[in-house]
Amino acid sequence: MPEFVPASRVTRIKSSPSVAAAARVRELKAEGRRILDLTVGEPDFDTPQYIKDAAIAAIARGETKYTSVNGTPELQKAILQSLEKKTGLRYSTSELTIGGGGKPVIFTAFMASLDAGDEVVIPAPYWVSYPDMVLANEGTPVIVPCSEDDGFKLTPAALAGALTERTKWLILNTPSNPTGAVYSSRELAGLAEVLKEHPWVYVMTDEIYDEIHFGADPISSLVAVAPELKDRVLITNGVSKAYAMTGWRLGYGAGPAPLVGAINKLQSQISSCPSSVSQAAAAAALTGDQSFVRESVATYRERRDVAVAGLNAVEGLKCSTPDGAFYAYVNCGGVMGKSTPDGKTITNDEDFTLYLLEAASVAVIQGSAYGLGPYFRISYATGLPVIEESIAAIDKAVQALA
């Protein structure tokens, strides 16, 4: 039997580091080890009952058939109303794509738009999947490091320096995974001024965490700040994070009709349509009682404050306070060069995260996976007891370094 040789689009990418970390945690747990897991980027809350009830009712009504490639009328209406409320702009159904999660929407957007040699500007730290999605679709990732001094955010000067005649996309993720950074309206306006000078550049705004923020004002969207860019911006979002619906796999995108039409053409050949039952649940989530979102955000804020204070009390670590999402990006530069009790030198953030896993049974993800070290990411989408025990274990492990 001939040896299987995967396509080049597979060999040019790597597996998701966050998925790999979660798999390693599962392996260790299966071996009987108790692991304090701070890797998982999903809410620990259950999906609200009213959303589950809407799905059950849809099943009972027989809504288990194919839908339109870009969703049911009920979900389309719910999304369009939500977008208008958030951005102040009206979108039509021809400007809307609905997929099996936010990740497939992003992937098919690249599939629909990238040719070999097209560049995609990706601020770092970045969500781990962005560069590999670009590579899988023959594009070229252009990574722009964004320092902690700049709040891990892209500046207008850095953006201007990264754009070329080959640039097809800029990706903006706000609030950010992995840092929790949030772009203000003023910061977005500064980026918009640069983008106006480069009319061939499209912008993908990944707003999947836009309901999870800790400021007094709602999250700003680029199209709300600079509505003249609407025809060049694809907003991507979904119900996974805000409504604890990660497993329901329902995301959406809104942008220029020609781009959306290409995405929907691809989806018609890939998956036909999203799950009809998940669509009913998502429509209920977007139009129903929003108290769950408010209550969960208050819980995340409490966890954030405990995590940040605890991590900053550990000698050698430094943690900025995130403004959104449920992640903290921890500077571990202060432990670089130190030695573990068994004589190994900590030379990078991956060494340190492996040390924490083996010595403290705490699972985190190295910052190099997100394009900027020496840092590590924690998720505080878990209970306070786990967060507090994890920080105590990290502190003990750091104290053991020489």
Q: Which residues pair with 253 in a beta bridge?
A: 97, 236
| Beta strand 119-124 pairing with 167-173 | parallel
Question: For 173, phi and psi rounded to 5 degrees?
Answer: -115, 110
Strand partners, 203: 170, 233
Distance CA 298, CA 161 (A): 39
Tell me how far the alpha carbon of residue 59 is from its chain's centroid: 30
Q: Is the full-model pTM beyond 0.85?
A: yes
Domains annotated on the chain, with CATH = 8-46+292-399 (3.90.1150.10), 49-287 (3.40.640.10)
- Confidence (pLDDT) at 251: 98
Cis-peptide, bond into residue 274, ω within 30° of zero? no
* pLDDT values of the chain reduced to their tens digit, one per residue, 402 residues: 789 989 988 888 887 776 777 777 788 888 888 999 999 899 999 999 999 999 999 999 999 999 999 999 999 999 999 999 999 999 999 999 999 999 999 999 999 999 999 999 999 999 999 999 999 999 999 999 999 999 999 999 999 999 999 999 999 999 999 999 999 999 999 999 999 999 999 999 999 999 999 988 889 999 999 999 999 999 999 999 999 999 999 999 999 999 999 999 999 999 999 999 999 999 999 999 999 999 999 999 999 999 999 999 999 999 999 999 999 999 999 999 999 999 999 999 999 999 999 999 999 999 999 999 999 999 999 999 999 999 999 999 999 999
Amino acid at site 338: K
pLDDT at position 40 is 87
What pLDDT is recorded for position 305?
A: 98
**Other Cβ atoms closer than 10 A to 260:** 23
3 state DSSP class of 171: strand
Residue 291 half-sphere exposure, CB side, CA atoms within 13 Å?
3
Whole-angstrom distance, CA of residue 170 vs CA of residue 303: 32
For 282-337, the three-class secondary structure string (H helix, E strand, C coil) is HHHHHHCCCHHHHHHHHHHHHHHHHHHHHHHCCCCCEECCCCECCEEEEECHHHCC
CA–chain centroid gap for 114, Å, is: 21
Residue 194: its pLDDT value, please? 98
Res 242: pLDDT: 98
Distance CA 169, CA 11 (A): 23
pLDDT at position 322: 98
Distance (Å) of CA 307 to CA 150, 329, 365, 394: 22, 11, 16, 12
Per-residue pLDDT, 333: 98
